[in-house]
Structure 1
Amino acid sequence: MTPLRPSTIICPVLVFSASLWVYDVGQSQLYEVETAAILRAQRDTSPPETGSHVGDQAGTFGAAPIVSAEALASGDDQGVVESNFSVVDSLRDSKVPEREINQAALESRYVDFFYGEMVDGGFAQFVGESEWDSHTVAMVRKELLDLKAFKHLELFDDGAAMVAAIDPKELRQFINTSQPSSKDRVRKTLGLIDRQFFAVNDRESLVKLNATWLRQQPNLIALSPEAFRNELLGRGVYLPRRDKISVKS
């Protein structure tokens, strides 16, 4: 399953996501990036400068994470993380395979998905929404390690051990149930770590760690929504062949 962000994404993110809508590929000749900046990011990042095209290499999306220039300039951690989330999901919705998307951007997106599910409904909800997909689990775990969120990683491994102890048929039945009862045995078992998650997050804020990690990526790119649309158009992302490519290929 390809996990989606919970319904609780804040309005500004919805606005930014909507602004990434791309015109028909027949308009690709109009390709022209009006604003872009390559930031040699440090912990305290200065506002992005407008500049020329970010480059004509076909691998731009894989070479660097892309975030909203407005979010990066604002200094808002949540805005930076969620703008990366929106960019990655826009690429995936456009049938861009994960192998063509920057690894750091992907990892950030997966751990933010995990964070959102935990806040929205707890570990049981994360297991259900992700279907405990091995790819998703591996990406979340790797990013927790990269973020040096060691307390979160320890708790995540505790949760994984709980999942492993559940009978596979019972786990599959739980995952296939759209709205499991609060009395469901699997849900109650997995929910045991929820309070620990919030206590850990008070000491190791995943949003703050995630945003800082993104800002420190050496090739971080800040784009306006219009510039991002044009980058997609100019690279032929919307060619019909994309419809036949698996997102995880």
Structure 2
Amino acid sequence: MLAEIRNIFSKGRVKYVNDAIVVLDEDFRSNTLWKITASNIDVVNSMMHYRVPIKNISKYALYSYYVDYYLAQASNGGFSQFVYNTRWNLNIVNCVRLGLTEMQASANLDVFERGAALFEKMDYRDVDRFFYGKYYDEDNVVREILDSINDGFYNLKNSESLLEINAHWLRNHKNLRVLNSEDIKTYIYLALNDGVNKK
């Protein structure tokens, strides 16, 4: 695949900018709200697949990526599912925190921080049992404690929709770059090589 990316390298048309949020032109033009968010996710997933150094992926793209991940996890299985599946990875947690802050989703940030406070005060032995035990055990006390904030999260679905906020934030971001599919491949190749065209 990298050979294909090299072959389509455009003659100076695409330049690598470290903090650019890159989305597909078709998705940007779409009237479907979530398309732009999904496009950012696709680009970030491709960059991760090709092992682009994390420093070469826009922090803003990662904020949107992980806010959407948090939304999907919490909507599907509550706050406990997000904690369980991320193992409370601090890089992910910080991206969610910073993303919610950047998006000015203050009510959602408050709910997230309440959940974080519950988790962070837990005994490490309880945390280990939670991470290495069976998530759906009936006596999973940690899961029940973490999910005590779920109503606060679900109640914001209409008043502070993260689906809408994330999409609008991306669309209006000063670092947004709208590219066609070939130029996105070129951009990923440049990001992989620190912005240098290594023909």
Return the match for 1:177 from 133, 151, 155. 133
TM-score, scaled to structure 1: 0.71
In structure 2, the residue matched to 1:149 is 105
Matched, 1:100 2:100: no
| Greater Cα shift, 134-143 or 169-178 | 169-178
Please give the root-mean-square deviation of Cα atoms over the aligned residues, in Å.
Answer: 2.2
Return the match for 2:8 from 31, 48, 54. 31
TM-score, scaled to structure 2: 0.88
Aligned-partner residue type, residue 165 of structure 1: K
In structure 2, the residue matched to 1:216 is 172
User: Matches of 1:188 and 1:200 in 2, distance apart?
Assistant: 20
User: Matches of 2:177 and 2:29 in 1, distance apart?
Assistant: 12
In structure 1, the residue matched to 2:93 is 137
Identity fraction in percent = 28
Aligned-partner residue type, residue 171 of structure 2: R
User: Matches of 2:165 and 2:129 in 1, distance apart?
Assistant: 35
CA contact (8 A) 2:135 2:143 kept: no
- The alpha-carbon deviation at position 82 of structure 1 amounts to 1.4
Q: Secondary structure at the match of 1:90?
A: helix
User: Matches of 2:167 and 2:181 in 1, distance apart?
Assistant: 19
- The alpha-carbon deviation at position 33 of structure 1 amounts to 4.4
Task: Mark the CA change 1:104 to 1:236 in structure 2 (over 3 Å): closer, same or farther.
Answer: closer
- The alpha-carbon deviation at position 137 of structure 1 amounts to 1.1
1:47-196 superposed matches below 5 A: 53-55=13-15, 59-60=16-17, 62-177=18-133, 179-196=135-152
Task: Mark the CA change 1:201 to 1:169 in structure 2 (over 3 Å): closer, same or farther.
Answer: same
User: Matches of 1:134 and 1:236 in 2, distance apart?
Assistant: 24
Aligned-partner residue type, residue 120 of structure 2: A
Matched, 1:198 2:154: yes
Higher helix share: 2
User: Matches of 1:29 and 1:206 in 2, distance apart?
Assistant: 37
Task: Mark the CA change 1:29 to 1:226 in structure 2 (over 3 Å): closer, same or farther.
Answer: closer
Deviations 1:184-233 (A, max 9, x none): 10111111111221102221010111111111112311123333223334
Deviations 1:148-180 (A, max 9, x none): 100001111110111023211111221223533
Task: Mark the CA change 1:173 to 1:141 in structure 2 (over 3 Å): closer, same or farther.
Answer: same
Aligned-partner residue type, residue 182 of structure 2: E
CA contact (8 A) 2:79 2:150 kept: yes
- The alpha-carbon deviation at position 87 of structure 1 amounts to 0.7
- The alpha-carbon deviation at position 106 of structure 1 amounts to 1.0
User: Matches of 1:229 and 1:182 in 2, distance apart?
Assistant: 47
User: Matches of 1:150 and 1:96 in 2, distance apart?
Assistant: 32
Unpaired stretches in structure 1, ≥5 consecutive residues: 1-22, 35-51, 239-249
CA contact (8 A) 1:152 1:201 kept: no
